[in-house]
Amino acid sequence: MTLTIREAIPGDEALVLQFIGELAAYEKLAHEVVASEGDLRRTLFADNPKIFALIVETKGEPCGFALYFFNYSTFLGRHGLYLEDLYVTPEARGAGAGKALLARLARIAKDNDCGRLEWWVLDWNAPAIAFYESLGAEAMSEWTVNRLTGPALANLAAKDRAHGDTG
């Protein structure tokens, strides 16, 4: 299978959203997807984008994507590359598309002097975990993810407004 990888371009919003939906369904999280094509257009293709996407194709047909952004490690004193989503269609799995996307992301990380490439994986996703381990990835089991969303995020943000702008 011949694979090509390209950067997402304006007009790919529906495709990226489709892949996000398929990934979310696989992860049993489809109910959490509220993103729209407009959201993707606004964020992926802004004048100074903060997120980026790659599309992998076989025979000119899209078969997966990776969405990533740069973060920062104070311990390393260097940027890192964070992989938000990696998805390959079921019919293209096992043909090297996921490995090709990760290899491209590793190259982007190295080209941008990043100290690491990291991502989350659901603890029940044994096929993905085995795949990542086969590439040399290490699970960071001593870390716990924390998240604020919805009312909790709004409530904490309101506490800042209550104390005024510290400028």
Sequence-distant (6+) residues with CB within 8 A of 105 are: 54, 66, 68, 81, 83, 117
Nearest to 2 by CA among 100, 86, 106: 100
The CATH number that domain 3-162 falls under is 3.40.630.30
Supply the pTM of this predicted model.
Answer: 0.91
14-67 per-position pLDDT tens digit: 999 999 999 999 999 999 999 999 999 999 999 999 999 999 999 999 999 999
57-109 per-position pLDDT tens digit: 999 999 999 999 999 999 999 999 999 999 999 999 999 999 999 999 999 99
State phi, psi for 80 to the nearest 5 degrees: -130, 170
Catalytic positions, please? 132
Q: Where are the domains of the chain?
A: 3-162
Rounded Cα–Cα distance for residues 61 and 92 (Å)? 11
99-133 per-position pLDDT tens digit: 999 999 999 999 999 999 999 999 999 999 999 99
